[in-house]
Structure 1
Amino acid sequence: MKTKLFTIAIALSSVVAMAQKKEIKNAEKAIEDGNYAEAKALLNSVESMIAGEKEKVQADFYYVKGIALVGNNNKNNQEIIAGAEALNKAAALGHDEAQNKIDDLVIDVYNSAVQNSKAKRFKEASDELYISYQLDKKDTLKLFLAAGTALNAKEYDKSLEYYQELNRLGYDGRKLVYTAVNKTTQEVESFATANQRDVYIRVGSHSNPSVEREESKRPEIVKNIAIIYFQKGDNDKAFDAIQQARKQNPKDIGLMLAEAEIYSRANDLEKYNSILQEIIKLEPNNADLYYNLGISTSKSGDNEAAAKFYKKAIEINPEHTDAYINLASIVLAKEKPIIEEMNNLGMSAADNKRYEALQNERKEIYRSSLEYLEAAKKRSKEGTDSYKGVVQTLYQIYSFLGEEEKAKALKN
């Protein structure tokens, strides 16, 4: 009797296995016919029994399930993620075609994310980047990009989740970058691998091969976590995120700059300036630090001190265009009280005399600004907003000072 029961059990098991294989085949046929809903229903009917099957059957099941979920240009993100998980299971179980399908899907999803990002559809781009990461969890750069794009979309909870996952993974994003100079444009271009770069070197289109290591992305991750907390109104968590990271790396310039930015966002300019001064002790020849101190000092109302910082930035880096522009702005700001006084004058002889004196003061202010504006124009890239702004300001000043030839030259 026991033997008969055992035989029946084996027979039932074989029948179940055959039924599962049949449903997988039927699901494949449904996919071929474009009936993805039917394929998903067929697979759902046998999924609970798949775990006990041989690896070959499991691999086939998860591969077909993955195709059913991601196929037909599906835009349902949850289904695509589930499909990605199924395809990864199939690949892990040794399915021959699963990895190729994953690779194709990664490319398609990533390219769609790039297009959405260019079109400023940041929510859609972030979702697709996260799916791309789900398809290949070794590629943590996709998770980093998904987090940043979600932040651009103001999807703060989602962005925070991704950044915290990066923290748990210990991601810092440092990698080698292979570069060479394009002989035609004279610009430095980056390549994914040394071999790819060396092909261009061999054909003669590029020169000066080099290799660099990218800076750690950890400061940006910590800073953005803090920014998200700040946006959510949780300032304590924002400062705590930065300070915890700095305890581990107290002299990390990137983290110090991130902390300074958070204090700037909180409008605590005193603390902001204090941190920048601390960084300057570590990097005394960093022109950008003096430039940023100039901005914050100007915001606090001390233009005289701000001008000294801008001049120090130029001393370190004579090509610092923005420092010249801001120095010109400080000079031109002296015009405001003069204009206000001129507008309040009457029509008496004394008022007219005072008006002429004030007009001459304006001319002196304009002449004083020319040194900085002309230096900024010389260093600005034509066509940029900063270049256009400088040229427009110079045109107005030349016209006011009666230097018509110089004004006319800017119009040509």
Structure 2
Amino acid sequence: MKKLLTIMLVFAITSLSYAQKKEIREIEKALKDSNFADAKAAASSAEALIGSMDDKSKAKFYLLKAQALYANGAGTNAEIDDAITSLDNLKDLESKMGKLKYTQEANEMSKNMVNSFLTKANDAFTNKNYSVAAKRFEKVYRMSPKDTLYLYYAASSAVTEPDYDTALEYYIELKNMGYDGAEMNYYATNVETGVEESFGDKVSRDLSVKAKLHKSPRDQRSPSKTAEIVKNIALIYVSQGDNEKALGAMADAREENPDDIGLLLSEANVYLKMGNREKFRELMEEATEKDPNNAELQYNLGVLAAEGGNSEAAIKYYEKAVAINPNYVDAYTNIAVVILEGEAKIVEEMNGLGTSKADNIKYDELKEKRIEVYHSAIPYLEKALELKNTNIDAARTLMNIYSAIGEMDKFKAMKAKVESMQASANGN
């Protein structure tokens, strides 16, 4: 009887082993014919037997299952997620076994999957299909977790869509992993053209310099993306009406990086979005103290002062901006705008006067004052137009001012300039 039980047990094991091999052969056969539906079905059947498979059979099964689910890139997102898991299971198993029979093939498959999805992600982004791009960049990251840049691309794509819930999920993941995003960039000047060019890596750059094709090599680290990530997290919270979480996100980041001017500006931007203009102004003032030679900060403070009706402070900030950057076109334009805003009050007062002798005298005084305003604005408008000769708003304003103050030659010249600009804009 004992002998009979032994024979039956051996028979059962043999039958089970045969069934396992049969199911695995079915997957292989379907894959050979590119019949992925049958391959998936066979993989599903084989999976029911995985508990009794030996390690060698399991490793092969994991590879075949991944190939079936991936289906040369035609698998669904869920199927490809399962394919990635199956390849990870294979690599873990063979690592424990100490025999990497299928791992190299799995690595090659993973590489092909990454390249395929990266191409699709880039194509989707180029075609402004940001939702699809986000999912595909995220998939690339899941397949190659060391390439955290692709999760950042996924977040950027999602926020551009906009799909704020998905973007928030990705940004929080990036923040929690301490993603910085700063990269070293390699430059050298082309000997023939004299133009500085960038290289993909240091080795290529150094070889070109050694070959005397380039000279003056330099390395430059790109700015950290931490401030942008935290800012976007905070702004998404603001858009969702969760201001406390927004400020909490900024506070955490500022605490870790108290001297990061980017984070300070991001926090200021969050307060601006929340409508707290006073806090925005305070933080911008703090930013200018930390970075006094930043023309853009001075300009933004000028905009804020102008919106608050403080013309004198606005001009002061704009003048600081152009003192730092003499080519800051918008600052020159805005100084002129602030100056010309004073004209409205003068005109209103002129229109409210009567016809008495005293009123006539007052009218003439106000008229002269109005002309003084025009003359004060002219240099800034002329400078703005000099720096940007397509600035049609500056040109139109100058044309009207020249007409108002009776400088007809300048009026005619500016009128011709405006007409030329309009013709160019219309493609004539």
Could you tell me the TM-score, scaled by structure 2's length? 0.81
Query: In the alignment, is residue 391 of structure 1 matched against residue 399 of structure 2?
Result: no
* Equivalent runs, 1:2-401 vs 2, <5 Å: 5=5, 8-50=8-50, 52-74=52-74, 76-92=76-92, 93=94, 94=100, 95=102, 96-181=104-189, 188-201=196-209, 206-337=214-345, 364-380=372-388, 388=390, 390-398=391-399, 401=402
Count of residue correspondences: 404
Seen in structure 2, the aligned counterparts of structure 1 residues 286 and 3 have a Cα distance that, compared at 3 Å, is: farther
Residues 259 and 376 of structure 1: CA distance in aligned 2, closer, same or farther (over 3 Å): same
Say whether the 8 Å CA contact 1:88–1:135 is kept in structure 2: no
Residues in 1 aligned to 2:356 and 2:394: alpha-carbon distance in whole angstroms = 32
Q: Deviations over 1:359-395 (max 9, x none)?
A: 8766654543343334334444xxxxxx64x234314
Report the residue type matching 1:65 in the other structure: K
The answer as to whether partners of 1:293 and 1:306 remain within 8 angstroms in 2 is yes
Give the aligned residue type for 1:195. Answer: V
**Change beyond 3 A, Cα 1:216–1:54:** farther
Q: Spell out, residue by residue over 1:55-82, the C-alpha distance to the aligned partner (whole angstroms, 9 max, x if none).
A: 4433332222222222254273222333
SS at match of 2:220: strand
State the Cα distance separating 1:340 from its structure 2 match. Answer: 6.5
Structure 1 residues 181 and 264 mapped into 2: Cα distance closer, same or farther (>3 Å)?
Answer: farther
1: CA distance between counterparts of 2:272 and 2:164? 20
SS of equivalent to 1:251: coil
Q: Which amino acid aligns with 1:265?
A: K
Residues 25 and 211 of structure 1: CA distance in aligned 2, closer, same or farther (over 3 Å): farther
Following TM superposition, by how much is the alpha carbon of 1:409 offset from its aligned partner in structure 2, in angstroms?
4.9
Change (3 A) 1:7 1:323: farther
Unaligned runs of 5+ in 1: 381-386
Mapped contact 2:384–2:394 kept (Cα < 8 A)? no
Identity of aligned residues (%): 37
Report the counterpart of residue 383 of structure 1 in structure 2.
none
Cα distance in 2, alignment partners of residues 352 and 13 from structure 1: 116
Does the 8 Å contact 1:85/1:134 carry over to 2? no
- Matched residue of 1:212: which SS? strand
Query: Aligned in 2, Cα 1:58/1:277: closer, same or farther, shift over 3 Å?
Result: same
Distance 1:377-1:393 versus aligned 2 partners, 3 A rule:
closer
**Cα distance 1:326–1:181, how it changes in 2: closer, same or farther (>3 A)?**
farther
**CA gap 1:116/1:365 in 2 versus in 1, 3 angstroms:** farther
- Return the offset for 1:159: 1.4
Deviation at 1:151, TM superposition (A): 1.6
Which amino acid in structure 2 is aligned with residue 28 of structure 1? E
Once residues 130 and 318 of structure 2 are traced to their aligned partners in structure 1, the CA distance between those partners, rounded to angstroms, is 36
The 1:182/1:54 distance shift into structure 2, 3 A limit, reads farther
In the TM superposition, residue 333 of structure 1 has moved relative to its aligned partner by 3.3
Amino acid at match of 1:191: F
**Does the 8 A contact of 1:345 with 1:355 survive in 2?**
no
Distance 1:242 1:19, change over 3 A: same
AA aligned opposite 1:397: L
SS of residue in 2 equivalent to 1:233: coil
Q: CA deviation at 1:251?
A: 2.7
* Structure 2 residue runs without a partner (length 5+): 95-99, 403-407, 422-428
Distance 1:399 1:298, change over 3 A: closer
Cα distance change, pair 215–27 in 1 and its aligned pair in 2 (3 A): same
SS of the equivalent of 1:178 reads strand
CA distance in 1: counterparts of 2:332 and 2:305, whole angstroms: 16
CA distance in structure 2 between the aligned counterparts of 1:367 and 1:310, rounded to whole angstroms? 18
User: 1:176·1:212 contact (CA, 8 Å) conserved in 2?
Assistant: yes
1:357 Cα deviation from its structure 2 partner:
8.4
Letter of the aligned partner of 1:270 in structure 2? E
Task: Give the partner amino acid of 2:398.
Answer: I
In structure 2, give the amino acid aligned to 1:256: L
Moved more, 212-221 or 263-272: 212-221
Q: Structure 1's 30 and 319: CA in aligned 2 closer, same or farther, altered over 3 A?
A: same
Q: Partners of 1:26 and 1:155 in 2: how far apart?
A: 42
Instruction: Measure how far apart 1:242 and its partner are.
Output: 0.9
Q: Does the 8 A contact of 1:147 with 1:160 survive in 2?
A: yes
SS at match of 1:334: helix
Equivalent position amino acid for 1:41 in 2:
A
Q: 1:27 to 1:319 in 2, by over 3 A?
A: same
Deviation at 1:349, TM superposition (A): 12
Structure with higher Rg: it is: 2
**In 2, Cα distance between equivalents of 1:111 and 1:243:** 38
Q: Is the 8 A contact 1:88 1:99 kept in 2?
A: no
Conserved? CA contact 2:303–2:314, under 8 Å = yes
SS at match of 1:71: helix
Q: Provide, for residues 289-332 of structure 1, a one-character-per-residue CA deviation record: whole Å limited to 9, x for no partner.
A: 21222222222222321221121122122233332232233234
Question: How far apart are residue 2 of structure 1 and its match?
Answer: 5.2
CA distance in 2, matches of 1:89, 1:251: 44
* Aligned partner letter, 1:276: M
Q: Secondary structure at the match of 1:34?
A: coil
* 1:288 partner amino acid: E
- Check conservation: 2:237, 2:243, Cα contact below 8 A: yes
The Cα shift of 1:275 comes to 1.4
